[in-house]
């Protein structure tokens, strides 16, 4: 593939697109949301075919994407020049689009991950070239077609069917001004290094090992009901899924039977049936990796609460393991239907367990005591803290991570400014 040809066409499109008024770009976004709603069954079927997500969850992904696009289509213009009071009669802060932004996107949410990065960047006046996961090239094509159907000018969004080797060539091209990657810590490190070497803005949304903390004064029955879905939605293949359930020792015996009963209701079935809650993993090699992590955890002292049972090349009956401090598995992300259970004696110990990992994406704290909740809000190191609810992304609120979970934000009005150049204009006229 002649990448320079695609980049040149994107740059020409950017030259015109950056001059289009904010409100006119929003009208096209409204069209795009309508295209997604109209074609949601077709897009959902493609997602399920590509990466095996249960069809009801694939439909929900398209609907959530359409809702997010509508949010930006109706958003306040946060890119208007800001007036700053100084001794000069002109004193402003402007936000200029950067240009071509590369998206390196994963397979677990083939539409949502792409659109949540691309839409605010395009609204800011940038143009996008996408390198999608190889198993989701079809979704990339569908998204490109959706932009065309919505009336966007050609080359505002391009899906490039390329491998990881081509990322270097793209980031070395001076016309490309930034990159957004959602993926593993390893992939993020490599792409950020390339971006830094070539002086390009980068945003990374990486892995997580989110804590789901259940204190003894909480509505632990609700937590036991919500927790399994927080872990096993999308077959556990979500960066901000609840991956470690840290339970206060005083309610362990009451909480665990309720949790296990609900957890066991998630069993692999035909992903094209609407009632299916759990499917197979996206690829066999990912199932291999999860099984190896399970064995590693057990070898280092973890106890089986519910066995992880492999029933086919990519399918598991979901498992739970009881893990203690010091187990090396805590330094890794479990991306699949395997949950970690930990028991804590008091708030200080539970906080230490929650924070003692490389990641910091999102944490959930369950308590009825406002003072205790505040203790965790102030001391948990993560991009999100959810209170008496599962961690989830919300279009209206910024989403991003701390530590090895990445940097920069997606979603909310903040995301519109992520790929802009702040320009100071000052003087007298």
Active site amino acids = 205, 239
CA angle at 26 for the pair 24 and 27, rounded to the nearest 5° = 65
Alpha-carbon span 281 to 236, nearest angstrom: 9
- Tell me the residue length of the chain: 429
Measured over the CA atoms of residue 329, residue 334, residue 339 and residue 344, the dihedral's sign is positive
* Residue 327 DSSP one-character state: -
- Containing 304, the helix (H) or strand (E) segment is strand 303-306
CB crowding 360-369: b at 16 or more within 10 Å, else e: bbbbbbbbee
- Give the integer Cα–Cα distance in Å for 235 and 315: 9
209: tokens are 């090992």
- Which residues make beta-bridge pairs with 131? 104
Candidates 101, 350, 89, 88; CA nearest to 213 is: 350
| Residue of 162, 153, 134, 156 whose CA lies nearest to 2 | 162
Phi-psi category of residue 406: left, alpha or beta, with phi > 0 → left and psi -120 to 50 → alpha: left
């Amino acid at each position: 593939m002649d990448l320079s040809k695609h980049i040149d066409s994107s740059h020409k499109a950017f030259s015109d697109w950056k001059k289009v008024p904010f409100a006119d770009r929003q009208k096209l976004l409204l069209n795009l949301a309508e295209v997604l709603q109209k074609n949601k069954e077709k897009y959902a079927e493609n997602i399920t075919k590509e990466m095996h997500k249960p069809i009801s969850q694939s439909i929900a992904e398209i609907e959530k994407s359409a809702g997010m696009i509508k949010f930006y289509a109706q958003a306040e213009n946060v890119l208007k020049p800001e007036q700053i009071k100084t001794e000069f009669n002109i004193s402003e802060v402007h936000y200029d689009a950067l240009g071509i932004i590369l998206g390196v996107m994963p397979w677990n949410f083939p539409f949502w991950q792409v659109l949540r990065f691309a839409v605010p960047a395009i609204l800011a006046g940038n143009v996008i070239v996408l390198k999608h996961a190889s198993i989701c090239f079809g979704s990339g094509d569908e998204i490109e077609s959706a932009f065309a159907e919505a009336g966007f000018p050609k080359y505002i969004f391009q899906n490039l069917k390329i491998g990881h080797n081509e990322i270097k060539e793209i980031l070395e091209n001076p016309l490309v001004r930034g990159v957004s990657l959602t993926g593993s810590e390893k992939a993020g490190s490599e792409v950020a290094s390339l971006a830094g070497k070539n002086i390009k803005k980068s945003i990374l949304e990486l892995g997580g090992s989110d804590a789901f903390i259940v204190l003894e004064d909480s509505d632990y029955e609700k937590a036991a009901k919500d927790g399994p879905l927080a872990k096993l939605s999308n077959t556990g293949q979500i960066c901000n899924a609840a991956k470690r359930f840290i339970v206060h020792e005083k309610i362990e015996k009451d909480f665990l039977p309720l949790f296990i009963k609900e957890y066991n209701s998630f069993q692999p079935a035909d992903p094209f049936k609407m009632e299916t809650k759990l499917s197979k993993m996206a690829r066999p090699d990912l199932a291999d990796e999860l099984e190896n992590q399970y064995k590693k955890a057990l070898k280092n002292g973890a106890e089986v609460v519910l066995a992880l049972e492999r029933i086919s090349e990519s399918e598991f009956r979901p498992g739970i393991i009881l893990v203690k401090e010091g187990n090396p598995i805590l330094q890794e992300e479990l991306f699949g239907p395997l949950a970690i259970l930990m028991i804590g004696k008091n708030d200080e110990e539970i906080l230490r367990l929650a924070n003692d990992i490389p990641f910091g994406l999102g944490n959930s704290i369950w308590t009825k005591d406002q003072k205790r909740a505040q203790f965790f809000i102030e001391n948990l190191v993560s991009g999100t803290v959810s209170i008496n609810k599962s961690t989830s992304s919300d279009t209206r609120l910024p989403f991003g991570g701390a530590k090895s979970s990445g940097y920069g934000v997606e979603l909310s009005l903040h995301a519109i400014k992520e790929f802009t150049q702040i320009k100071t204009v000052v003087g007298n006229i």
